[in-house]
Structure 1
């Protein structure tokens, strides 16, 4: 929300892409390589109100993560998401932001057992996350200071799955 608050607009269509890669090596040989790519698009409306500004928006996205293990085996997770956000900022700098997001995950695993055998499986799961933040924005010329407090939570169902 901070990026959208920084750009003056009344109605906005926006998009963001991301791509990360992590390589982890351990002395025990349990290293892995992971990639994460995704895209999120959204729309919002920013409105002036007496003594402040409100922003309401919605977004949807897709991401895919793949992980490969040094000792063999790999897995992947695809995630579709849908969410909304709201923001209120008083002209004094006090603000309150909130985000809620639903996810649908599709997971695949292809494991390599220490005996040399293979185990494969896939499953679907759902997730729900939220974030709320409040703070005070102090600005003076080229600097700003924003003390804040926030709370973030996420839960996902726990589907039963079997490897074969």
Structure 2
């Protein structure tokens, strides 16, 4: 039993707050806010749709349903798929989108981020490919009964 009470997160964050938290470096929240606003403006001009609809579609397309955890048994390592809660899946999807935007070659970050969000909404792009890779690994290695911890009745 922990000495301190465990704090539960009841506060639901919206997509824009999650994006700003992941974009933010060294506590510069205003800079992250400006980058995110420029990204949304660029998305709305490029796609001629509501930017939040495109953003939600991109996050929905890149949100993983499983996570790969490694289990070591008998000198070999087995990847085991584990189900992810929705909030962790969303934060992982946003993190993948931001990381793949950082890897793009254009100089301006908000241009890269908007292009990656548009690509993810169309089911193209590096973040969507990352989700597909995780899904393939999970399908190849179904959870085996030997590695589950059995409850004693």
Q: TM-score when scaled to structure 1?
A: 0.20
More helix by share: 2
> Whose relative contact order is higher, 1 or 2, with alpha carbons under 8 Å and at least 6 apart?
2
Larger radius of gyration: 1
More strand by share: 1
